[in-house]
Amino acid sequence: MPRTEKHKFKRLFLAADLHGSEIVFRKFLAAAKFYEADALLIGGDMTAKTIVPVVEGRDGRFSTRLAGQSRENLSAVEIKPIEKAIEDSGQYPVRLSDEEYNEIRADPDKVDKLFIDCMIKQLRRWTEMAENHLAPLGIPMFWIGGNDDKPEALATVTSTPHVQYIDESVARFDEDHEILGFGWTNPSPWRTPRELPEEALGKRLEPLLNRVQDPARCIYLIHAPPYGTGLDIAPKLDTSTDPPRPIIQGGQQVLIPVGSSSFRTAILETQPVLGLHGHIHETKNAAKLKRTLCVDPGSEYSSGTLRGAIVNLERDRVLSYQFTTG
């Protein structure tokens, strides 16, 4: 008998900030059966952050970089496990000839197009993988983009019967609950593709809030955590350097809250039953804003580790939650 027929609560499994890691995504799909989940949710930032050229010389030998180290003069057999390691660390290995590499690296527009193409291919492949895995189990997956996911790639996404892309929409989860999805964030020092000033962020979110039938039974799947909840603690960065660097005082990193004040206001005013978040990799935490439990599982995608959160949800309240690492 399925677990959901024995219990009145629904079990959600949340992860966020997979950033293209192939092994983390496979672990995420396996979590559906392992944790007896009724639904899987991804709280944004699905795609990788970088491309790693794998350059094939005229002699048929390959060169690339892995973990900051050059790997040279590799055979076709030797390069395959290195490409897999690159994929598992959350990067896109791309095979190029010497001529292609020199042509693309000299043109930022071509680099950007190649990056977007890699994102699109991965999102399509992951959607197919998830549908094939979850359909026999009858388990749905809901996901949103994040601030790092390029709009051009997200615009190509299509949902399937068991894999629903719900960014900037409100979807029905079950007869009692809706899910509001929103992946844009407040500004960061990294100037990522999907950031907005707080006022504009609140205005973009407002139409979705108005579409929710009953906030008290709605799940907010929002990439950035609300400000000042402890879910949003990250290193303070010196933006005068490129890239920005953590500020050190007394031999320690200075930590500050970096969440969204707009999301905090929205949650306090509407009081959903649950807020599911990501964005801040360093923070694994949960906190309440009045009745609303907000959860951020954190992320360790680059090491191939799946950080997650199990949330057991009753009709009108969160029964329990637990963080996972695997």
Q: Is the dihedral of CA 82, 88, 90, 94 positive or negative?
A: positive
* CATH number of the domain bearing residue 104: 3.30.420
Q: What is the pLDDT of residue 57?
A: 96
Mean pLDDT of all residues in the chain?
Answer: 96
Residue type, 43: G
> Using CA atoms, how far apart are residues 91 and 68, in angstroms rounded to an integer?
13
Q: Are 201 and 157 part of one and the same domain?
A: yes
Q: What is the pLDDT of residue 51?
A: 97
Q: What is the pLDDT of residues 143-168, one digit of tens each?
A: 999 999 999 999 999 999 999 999 99
> Using CA atoms, how far apart are residues 43 and 14, in angstroms rounded to an integer?
7
| DSSP H or E run through 77 | helix 76-88
Six token digits for residue 231? 């879910």
Q: Are 134 and 83 part of one and the same domain?
A: no
Categorize the per-residue pLDDT at 8 as very low, low, confident or very high, splitting at 50, 70 and 90. Answer: confident
Q: Are 59 and 184 part of one and the same domain?
A: no
Q: Are 92 and 186 part of one and the same domain?
A: no
**Which of these three, 109, 126, 149, is where a domain ends?**
109
* CATH number of the domain bearing residue 224: 3.60.21.10
Mean predicted confidence (pLDDT) in 88-99: 97
- Torsion of Cα atoms, 149 then 113 then 86 then 237, to 10°: -50
**Which of these three, 93, 109, 125, is where a domain ends?**
109
Categorize the per-residue pLDDT at 183 as very low, low, confident or very high, splitting at 50, 70 and 90. Answer: very high
Residue type, 152: E
Q: Are 269 and 312 part of one and the same domain?
A: yes
**Which of these three, 78, 109, 140, is where a domain ends?**
109
Mean predicted confidence (pLDDT) in 77-84: 98
> Using CA atoms, how far apart are residues 225 and 143, in angstroms rounded to an integer?
16
Residue 42 CB: number of other CB atoms within 10 A?
28
Q: Are 183 and 195 part of one and the same domain?
A: yes
Is 73 in contact with 63 (CB distance < 8 Å)? yes
Above 50 in pLDDT, residue 96?
yes
Q: What is the pLDDT of residue 7?
A: 65
Q: Are 70 and 125 part of one and the same domain?
A: no
Six token digits for residue 115? 């990056």
> Using CA atoms, how far apart are residues 235 and 252, in angstroms rounded to an integer?
10
> Using CA atoms, how far apart are residues 323 and 296, in angstroms rounded to an integer?
9
Q: Are 162 and 304 part of one and the same domain?
A: yes
Per-residue DSSP letter, 59? T
> DSSP readout, 94-138?
EEEEHHHHHHHHT-HHHHHHHHHHHHHHHHHHHHHHHHHHHTTTT
Mean predicted confidence (pLDDT) in 191-200: 98
> Using CA atoms, how far apart are residues 81 and 9, in angstroms rounded to an integer?
43
Categorize the per-residue pLDDT at 1 as very low, low, confident or very high, splitting at 50, 70 and 90. Answer: very low
Mean predicted confidence (pLDDT) in 305-315: 98
Is 190 in contact with 261 (CB distance < 8 Å)? no
Above 80 in pLDDT, residue 2?
no
Domains held by the chain: number = 2
- 3-state SS of 163-213 is EEECECEEEECCCCCEEEEECCECCCCCCCCCECCHHHHHHHHHHHHHHCC
Categorize the per-residue pLDDT at 99 as very low, low, confident or very high, splitting at 50, 70 and 90. Answer: very high
More confident residue, 279 or 2: 279
Q: Are 79 and 98 part of one and the same domain?
A: yes
Q: In terms of Cα–Cα distance, which of 8, 22, 251, 200 is closest to 123? A: 22
- Which residue's structure tokens are 């601030």? 147
Q: What is the pLDDT of residues 258-287, one digit of tens each?
A: 999 999 999 999 999 999 999 999 999 999
What count of residues does the chain have? 326
Residue 74 CB: number of other CB atoms within 10 A?
17
Q: Are 190 and 310 part of one and the same domain?
A: yes
pTM of the predicted model as reported, rounded to 2 decimal places:
0.95
Domain that holds residue 63: 51-109
Q: Are 91 and 205 part of one and the same domain?
A: no
Q: Are 121 and 77 part of one and the same domain?
A: no
Residue 50 CB: number of other CB atoms within 10 A?
13
Buried-exposed string 289-316: b where 16+ CB fall within 10 A, e elsewhere: beebbbbbbbbbbbebebbbbbbebeee
